[in-house]
Chains A and B, each alone.
Chain A
Amino acid sequence: MTRADKAGLTVSLLALLTLYGYLWTGIGPANQVTVTAAGETRVFSLGHDQRIAVSGSRGESIIEIEQGRARFVTSPCSGKVCVHTGWLARAGDTAACVPNGVIVSLTGHGKQYDSINF
């Protein structure tokens, strides 16, 4: 076995371990934002800071993506439960504006819980 072979083997084993951890243990960061409104789902990368305007049944909700997190900035509802939910940072974190029919949730491999009770 040449040195190059050994190097190749090492790289492959490291890749194997990394992928195993990522795909089988479910530990990893959230990497996408899923935004659902009016029956339509759009997916955005968490890596790209931006503000997104979403049209719901009552009007426009503004979603902000910043530093790998996402949140409702404004929404045309009275309770503002969605805005008060604050930043979503982990896979599985979800906020919804029920009156405007908008759901924002983070997806990725890092879901720590199967469901959240509150």
Chain B
Amino acid sequence: MASTQPQQTTLAPPRGSLYVNVATLLLITAMLAGCDRPRTYENQFLAFGTLVEITIHGAERELAEMAFEVARRDFAHMHAAWHAWQPSALTRVNTAIAAGESIDVDADVLPLIERAKSLSRRSRGLFNPAIGRLVELWGFHTDDYTGRRPPSDARIRALIDQNPSMDDLTLEGSQLSSTNPNVQLDFGAYAKGYGIGLVAEHLRAMGIENLIVNAGGDLRAIGAHGDRPWRIGIRHPREQGVFASVETDGDESVFTSGDYERYFEFKDTRYHHILDPRSGYPARHTTSVTVIHTNPGVADAAATALFVAGPSHWPAVAQAMGVRDVMLIDDQGRAHLTASMAARVEFEIDLPPKAVVHDRS
């Protein structure tokens, strides 16, 4: 409005000068505030059985909108291919293994098996995607935990004695065979990491340089938010809200495995979904493990393996898996950190946890 009367402004009588001044300054203010700075676009949707959130900074709106659609389709495709208990390319593999037959593995599933074999070995078997039958026995192949109780010791023991391992699988090209028909693949501790990685790559190939792909709380962050790094809040494992934060650098993935994600309670005991492949029971003494790594698949598998390893043994497993930045919260509420993680984590609560820093040197 003010811009339509510039001539009158300069010729205005003194009595009008107050209004002129106010109008001019407000106009400048509005122009300043509305300056064209790079924008951040966010999109949330449900996919992969969880809440997915894509954050994009500094790209054109049209490109960001396209990226959201691409991410949505990618996650839907992967969810259908990798589902562990609804008919999928993965369940076809499991059916063949159980029947003692070899199978030509679908191209969507093959890289998961190849990478998971190597990671499982490096984790000393603590990340073991071959224990699908055990996961099913505990009832974690469904979202409905009402009235659930732990399975009997005998049934757990029977599955553990069969010793399903990724080493039982042999790949010749895409042809898979197993020496152990009790292997059932469940990539619950790896698929999200690998999938987040693929989606982020896809968006980057579209020309997006600054982005975060977050699926169910695990994320890969690339680039930065303008002239500052991406800021990631880490949710408190027992209370509402954030208790710590980190800033990412370049291309990093932040993954947390916690006993609060999927669990049921029976007779005042919490039975969560992170099973120790050695005992067949939910791993004890750990509440959560947060891992930062350049590879989201490694971060995902390591968060599970270190959770299972527990407060005493995690440093050796972290080293074997090539993971530097780790924070483990034990069942006493203490934080165990690598020196590199301690240097970058900021605790955001008034009473930060007692911290134990493990220095490898």
Show the binding face of A for B, using Cβ within 8 Å: 2, 4-5, 7-9, 11-13, 15-16, 19-20, 23-24, 36, 77-79, 85-87, 94, 96, 98-99, 101, 103, 105, 112-118
Given A101-B46, A113-B242, A118-B235, 5 more A-B residue pairs with CB atoms under 8 Å apart are A4-B17, A16-B29, A103-B46, A117-B214, A118-B261
Q: Which of A9, A16, A113 neighbours the largest number of chain B CB atoms within 10 Å of its CB?
A: A113
A55–B50 CA distance with the chains assembled, in angstroms: 19
Q: Which of chain A's residues have a CB closer than 8 A to the CB of B290? A: 117
Q: How many angstroms between the C-alpha atoms of A84 and B217 in the bound complex?
A: 16
> Are A116 and B232 closer than 8 Å at their CB atoms?
yes
User: What chain A residues lie within 8 Å of B144 (beta carbons)?
Assistant: 78-79
Q: A115, B44: Cβ atoms under 8 Å?
A: no
- Nearest chain-A residue to B148 (Cβ)? A78
Contact, CB under 8 Å: B50 / A5: no
Question: Between A and B, how many residue pairs show CB distances below 8 Å?
Answer: 121
Q: Which residue of A lies closest to B29 (CB)?
A: A16
Looking at B103-111, B122-130, B218-226, B314-322, the stretch in contact with chain A turns out to be B218-226
Which residue on chain B has the smallest CB distance to residue A95?
Answer: B51
Interface size on B, residues (CB 8 A): 49
Chain A neighbourhood of B49, CB < 8 A: 98
Interface contact B231-A113, CB-CB below 8 Å? yes
- Is there an interface contact between A79 and B145, defined as CB atoms closer than 8 Å? yes
Contact between A8 and B22, CB atoms less than 8 A apart: yes
Chain B nearest CB, measured from A61 CB (Å): 13
Q: Are B21 and A87 in contact (CB under 8 A)?
A: no
Q: How far is the CB of A77 from chain B (nearest CB, A)?
A: 8
Q: Find out whether the CB atom of A115 lies under 8 angstroms from the CB atom of B230.
A: yes
Q: Indicate if B312 sits at the interface (CB-CB under 8 A).
A: no
Cβ of B245 within 8 Å of any chain A Cβ, yes or no, is: yes
Whether B234 and A115, one on each chain, are in contact in the complex, defined by CB atoms closer than 8 angstroms, is no
Closest to B233 in A: A113
